[in-house]
Structure 1
Amino acid sequence: VLFAPHHLDVLRLGVEAELQPPISKTGKEIKDYVEAEAGNDPLLKGIPEDKNPFKEKGGCLIS
């Protein structure tokens, strides 16, 4: 039996949809992870000046 290409896509998407966990579960897991790691996030708490790799090492004086 031959299937049209779009029919195979529909079948594949149906199988993939069954494999995905519900968003209510994954959303809670993401929220819990973000809240647990918030203390280690440099975007939230900042980077100490002495640990900042992008801080200028020295200036340039042109006279």
Structure 2
Amino acid sequence: MTSVCKTSSANGVPFFSPHQKMPVINIEDLTEKDKLKMEVEQLKKEVKMERQLVSKCSEEIKNYIEENSGEDPLVKGIPEDKNPFKEKGGCVIA
């Protein structure tokens, strides 16, 4: 029987192809050692992430939102003829 998950040779991390789902892990079934290993792996990933000041990021997000607000259907609405969720008919109770 072939394995569903392949391990990349670079770092031993499981590789899942796009059509495969990652296995579900019930945390309650893990030993304390396994839980700590998972936490260490997560912290190793997080420490590699580039950090930025919130003040800088929030300014960039604000500018992006302002630049694209004209095309945002939540801001300007959806034209009735292109709205897939508009009511097709009503119900009258007499």
> Normalising by the residue count of structure 2, what TM-score does the alignment of the two structures yield?
0.43
Instruction: Give 1 or 2: higher strand fraction.
Output: 2
- Runs of 4 or more, structure 1, over 6 Å off, are none
What is the aligned counterpart of 1:26 among 57, 60, 75?
Answer: 57
Larger radius of gyration: 1
| Whole-angstrom CA distance in 2 between matches of 1:54 and 1:32 | 30
Instruction: Give 1 or 2: higher helix fraction.
Output: 1
How many residue pairs get matched?
53
| Whole-angstrom CA distance in 1 between matches of 2:90 and 2:60 | 46
Cα displacement (A) at 1:56: 2.2
Identity among equivalent positions (%) equals 56
> Normalising by the residue count of structure 1, what TM-score does the alignment of the two structures yield?
0.60
Q: Which runs of 5+ in 2 are unaligned?
A: 1-35
Q: Which residue does 2:78 correspond to in 1?
A: 47
